[in-house]
Structure 1
Amino acid sequence: MRVVLSVLFTIIAVPVFAAKPNIILCMADDLGWGDVGFNGNETVITPELDRMAKAGIRFERFYAAAPVCSPTRGSVLTGRHPSRYGIPTANQGHLKRDEITLAEVLRDHGYATGHFGKWHLGTLAPDYSGKKMRNPEKNYMTPGMSGFDEWFSTEYSVSTWDPYDPKNAHNGITDPRVLFFHNGRNIEDGPAEGLVGDTARMVMDKALPFIEDATRKDQPFFAVIWFHAPHLPVVGGPEFLDMYPGLDENTQHYYAVITALDRQIGRLRNALREFGVAEDTMLWFAADNGPEGNPGKKGRSQGTAEPFRGRKRSLYEGGVRVPGLLEWPEKVVAG
């Protein structure tokens, strides 16, 4: 992740980048090194990510800041080691107000800033934390308090399909405050607002209008798109499950949610071309850590870090070496 931050801070500081390129940081949740086609998996269907890899840079050694999610996410936004900014592990602490984030710096340089998807850097309500591992009032810190003008976010992971359906609830928690907030408003009845089906699509449905609006205003934008897939609860949609006949049920669901995520990457890349800003946009894709090693109740953590040893929560390569891509037409050499 240091590569990402070094490039971004250079763009901010060096006058030669006066054009202010757009910046999009896409992140998958618990995606293993071997869970994508461009790293050699011949079963999973990821055509859009594979095209992105061919069109841009595929990093051979791309490391997360930590083997679990919250620390990595905070490091991405601050450029600092987790032990320095105060979130050493998942579901603990919050991004402190005195930390300077990329969103704040870029906003000061005229960028529109938006966060979409999983947050995991503090609670989104001062009186509630879903997993009860954070003191909600003490650790209240939303994307809006961290430099993001627009945000559509969840405190932590939610089901990858129909997250408002109680049977898909993470750890059996059905309180709507576990689910999406839009600019501080908790969306209590998601289906009434069209939040049904694929969670990755819901996230992209909010990100694309933000990008289009900034483009229409001729304003550079910084979009952080943090998908929930393939973190538990892993629930694949029917269309995507049908793409994996002959596999066991758990693997079908796992690969289905990755393919659903991949489709949204395709929507994003197509939209950038449609809006006429593809050549002016740095598009990053990575994962926050290695694949889950604890299958949980649904038993659908089928991810792989092959050929590396270790998984999520491990400091072996498989826990921190993650898929990494950068596409920036005419600025980086394809391949």
Structure 2
Amino acid sequence: MSNLIIIDLSTKISKMNKKSQLLFGALSCFFLHGYSQNEENRPNIILIMADDLGWGDVGFNGNKIIKTPNLDALAKEGTVMDWFYSAAPVSSPTRASVLTGRHPFRSGVFHANVGILRPEEITLPEILKEKGYTSGHFGKWHLGTLTDKEKDANRGGSKHPELFNPPSEHGYDEAFVSESKVPTYNPMLCPVKPENRFWDYSAVLDSSRSFGTHYWNIKSEKVTDNLSGDDSRIIMDRVIPFIDQAVAKNTPFLSVVWFHAPHLPCVAGPEHRAMYQEYELDKRNYYGCITALDEQVGRLVRYLKDRGIYENTLLFFCSDNGPERDVPGTVGNFKERKRSLHEGGIRVPALAVWPGKIKGGKHLSTPCVTSDYLPTIASLLQIPLSHKIDGENIMPLLLEKKDKRQNSIVFCSDVQAAVVDGDYKLYCKKGQYELFHIAKDPYEKNNIISVETMISDKMKEKLQSTLKDFQNSFEGEEYGRSSYNRVKQDWHDVMNH
């Protein structure tokens, strides 16, 4: 039996700001045209993200050391996205792109721990709520602070109330989140710095010292129970009950699972370190916490299958950027690492799994990006989007109905910018340009800018016009200047910084 989608007009009209106008305008067509949707056309959606996981840190991309059997099994059941980008080479901006489908510079999330995901931004949980979904966020948040009452993590506390911006402000119904990084084992405790070794790699934890970052629930209450042991397991302990409740109520769900591993402080538990005894301590910790993450992915998949909902679940997996410098992570043969807009900083491991819909054992070699998640899901559920979106619907690519991307992908971070358009990539740092035939030269070895001047000139124009468009959004063109004035940010000009 079909369900009629009815928009809550009173809620939308009572506060008709720019955001509610856009949501109302886009979604009211379901009511006006009597649109109906079968429950079977509302797949459950799971977005899993690792933190600082390198392209080459998983078995399905050829790693022979790190044990990732569950992710490798998913790769066989779904499609490996060989040419997949994080929207930025650092954490917060990529995360903003996932939830909005837009470039993070539009919202002022220029870098990690900079800005907030503005309340005016239309998020994936908000558009899915109108389709009857319940949404939960688990793990890292990194898009604003989670308390304005006490010191917490990098920015939380009473000194900067303007940065208070928890998941509850963005359409979520449930949350178990930290503001930023935590140790990947015993996440509330501070690792000890041993002699001649970075503290980040230490497997020794000081039980007398708090790390200073807490977990918070959807009501902005501090969570104090079940916080010992592997952090990926601690997170999954909250994910599964959330899904269980949704299944019991026959409600489709969005579950956003943002693991901390293998971000520093990188600590593996003794059972996972023991799997890599032949390696040095830093590698045992790094490899071990990735395997621990993989085990929790396997636990989730087994649960979905046991509950009979795996076939009706669309699952995406990726990393937020490339691996940190001076860690055991690998980028394969790609150039540079985290914080760089060369491929090693933004090309990340990625999977898409939807049993019976997306063919298993396939590889997609078309460029895609984290900004594509929202428009893909919106298109799948026939949700029109009337505001500016930078990503695009990639489901036709995943279903092998097309083989080319329609839009270019623009990146900017710190003093860098880049454009991927078709087979080419334009890279700029401090005003110096390089051009690569990225389809043939993915390792960026041959700068052809002096040869392909027409192509580079066209891509430079595209970059300049797009950056101006981002700036217009940042300065309030779409949503006004309320949060722009609240956060008191200046535009970050990557071309003249």
TM-score normalised by length of structure 2:
0.60
User: Does structure 1 residue 226 correspond to structure 2 residue 258?
Assistant: yes
Contact 1:125 1:177 in 2 (8 A): no
Question: Which secondary structure state, in structure 1, belongs to the residue aligned with residue 288 of structure 2?
Answer: helix
User: Does structure 1 residue 61 correspond to structure 2 residue 61?
Assistant: no
Rounded Cα–Cα distance in structure 2 between residues aligned with 1:229 and 1:174: 21
Question: Which secondary structure state, in structure 2, belongs to the residue aligned with residue 156 of structure 1?
Answer: coil
Q: 2:182 aligns with which of 158, 163, 188?
A: 158
User: Does structure 1 residue 144 correspond to structure 2 residue 179?
Assistant: no
Alignment of 1:183-222 (within 5 A): 183=218, 184-187=220-223, 190=224, 193-222=225-254
1:134-193 deviation per Cα after TM superposition (whole angstroms, max 9, x unaligned): 963111100111111000000001000011223369999966761211221112xx4xx2
Q: 1:103 aligns with which of 122, 125, 132?
A: 125
- Partner AA of 1:211 in structure 2: I
Contact 1:111 1:219 in 2 (8 A): yes
Question: Which secondary structure state, in structure 2, belongs to the residue aligned with residue 285 of structure 1?
Answer: strand
* Cα shift at 1:248: 1.2
* Cα shift at 1:15: 7.2
Rounded Cα–Cα distance in structure 2 between residues aligned with 1:148 and 1:69: 20
Q: 2:355 aligns with which of 325, 329, 333?
A: 329
Aligned to 2:273: 241
User: Does structure 1 residue 181 correspond to structure 2 residue 220?
Assistant: no
* Cα shift at 1:212: 1.0
Q: 1:31 aligns with which of 35, 49, 53?
A: 53
Contact 2:145 2:156 in 1 (8 A): no
Question: Which secondary structure state, in structure 1, belongs to the residue aligned with residue 276 of structure 2?
Answer: coil
Q: 1:303 aligns with which of 317, 329, 344?
A: 329
Rounded Cα–Cα distance in structure 2 between residues aligned with 1:33 and 1:288: 11
Aligned to 1:291: 323
Question: Which secondary structure state, in structure 1, belongs to the residue aligned with residue 48 of structure 2?
Answer: strand
- Partner AA of 2:255 in structure 1: A
Aligned to 1:131: 154
Contact 1:287 1:324 in 2 (8 A): yes
Contact 1:68 1:89 in 2 (8 A): yes
* Cα shift at 1:249: 1.1
Rounded Cα–Cα distance in structure 2 between residues aligned with 1:322 and 1:271: 26
Rounded Cα–Cα distance in structure 2 between residues aligned with 1:38 and 1:59: 10
1:200-256 deviation per Cα after TM superposition (whole angstroms, max 9, x unaligned): 000000000101110111100000000000000000101001111211111111000
* Cα shift at 1:130: 2.2
**Structure richer in strand, relative to its length:** 2
Aligned to 1:298: none
Contact 1:56 1:333 in 2 (8 A): yes
Contact 1:161 1:199 in 2 (8 A): yes
Rounded Cα–Cα distance in structure 2 between residues aligned with 1:160 and 1:177: 14
Over the matched positions of the two proteins, sequence identity in percent amounts to: 47
Contact 2:322 2:344 in 1 (8 A): yes
Q: 1:271 to 1:76 in 2, by over 3 A?
A: same
Rounded Cα–Cα distance in structure 1 between residues aligned with 2:293 and 2:188: 18
- Partner AA of 1:62 in structure 2: F
Rounded Cα–Cα distance in structure 2 between residues aligned with 1:247 and 1:317: 28
Q: 1:88 aligns with which of 107, 110, 131?
A: 110
Contact 2:188 2:212 in 1 (8 A): no
Q: 1:31 to 1:176 in 2, by over 3 A?
A: closer
User: Does structure 1 residue 271 correspond to structure 2 residue 340?
Assistant: no
Contact 1:162 1:168 in 2 (8 A): no
Q: What is the alpha-carbon root mean square deviation over aligned residues?
A: 2.3
Aligned to 2:290: 258
Contact 1:159 1:168 in 2 (8 A): no
Rounded Cα–Cα distance in structure 1 between residues aligned with 2:247 and 2:212: 32
User: Structure 1: any 5+ residue segments left out of the alignment?
Assistant: 1-8, 296-300
1:44-86 deviation per Cα after TM superposition (whole angstroms, max 9, x unaligned): 0000000000110001100000000000000000011011121
Rounded Cα–Cα distance in structure 1 between residues aligned with 2:354 and 2:192: 37
Aligned to 1:4: none
* Cα shift at 1:132: 4.0
Rounded Cα–Cα distance in structure 2 between residues aligned with 1:185 and 1:278: 32
Q: 1:83 to 1:269 in 2, by over 3 A?
A: same
Question: Which secondary structure state, in structure 2, belongs to the residue aligned with residue 131 of structure 1?
Answer: coil
Q: 1:119 to 1:174 in 2, by over 3 A?
A: farther
- Partner AA of 2:43 in structure 1: P
Rounded Cα–Cα distance in structure 2 between residues aligned with 1:84 and 1:15: 33
More moved, 169-178 vs 325-334: 169-178
TM-score normalised by length of structure 1:
0.89
Rounded Cα–Cα distance in structure 1 between residues aligned with 2:100 and 2:61: 28
User: Structure 2: any 5+ residue segments left out of the alignment?
Assistant: 1-25, 194-198, 201-205, 362-497
* Cα shift at 1:273: 0.4
Question: Which secondary structure state, in structure 2, belongs to the residue aligned with residue 243 of structure 1?
Answer: helix
Rounded Cα–Cα distance in structure 1 between residues aligned with 2:192 and 2:169: 30
Question: Which secondary structure state, in structure 2, belongs to the residue aligned with residue 186 of structure 1?
Answer: coil
Rounded Cα–Cα distance in structure 1 between residues aligned with 2:153 and 2:210: 8
- Partner AA of 1:77 in structure 2: L
More moved, 177-186 vs 254-263: 177-186
